[in-house]
Amino acid sequence: MRSYSTYGLLTLAGVSAMAMLYVGTYQVRLVQHLWCPRFGHGCEAVADAPFARPWGIPDGFLAAGFYAALIVAALFTPELAWLRYAVRALAILAAVANIGGVVDMRRLGAFCFYCLLTTLLSPFLVWLAFRI
């Protein structure tokens, strides 16, 4: 039986994955404009910034894939104890990547609602990862 911590982690990782998938769909122009609460066109400015394509891949898709890997690892954590360490490592890496993204956004002078959302969720994600 899964713990509440696992369900919480799955929920936060799922919300983060969906937010980043939405940004990724804009980055490849499957979506023409991002709806960006509180920041106007900031989401689009951040998504189109040079730092938003590491290795030439839209970071929205990289982050969505990262959160998907976290979800898969969390689903199998009760059966495989070593996966707990993988879940913790992935959660910490997500938090560090999110902080780096906020630093880049600050330098750019524009902010993305979805990126900030995942950044705000990341401490809780890390906390839940250590509770599994």
Chunked into runs of 10 residues, the chain (132 residues) has average pLDDT values of 88 98 98 94 96 95 96 85 91 96 97 98 97 89
Q: In this predicted structure, what is the pLDDT of residue 132?
A: 86
- The span from the first CA to the last CA of the chain, in angstroms, equals 12
Q: In this predicted structure, what is the pLDDT of residue 1?
A: 58
Domain that holds residue 77: 4-131
Instruction: Using only the alpha carbons of the chain, give its radius of gyration.
Output: 15
Supply the CATH number for residue 9's domain.
1.20.1440.130
Q: In this predicted structure, what is the pLDDT of residue 19?
A: 98
Q: In this predicted structure, what is the pLDDT of residue 15?
A: 98
**Total domains present in the chain:** 1
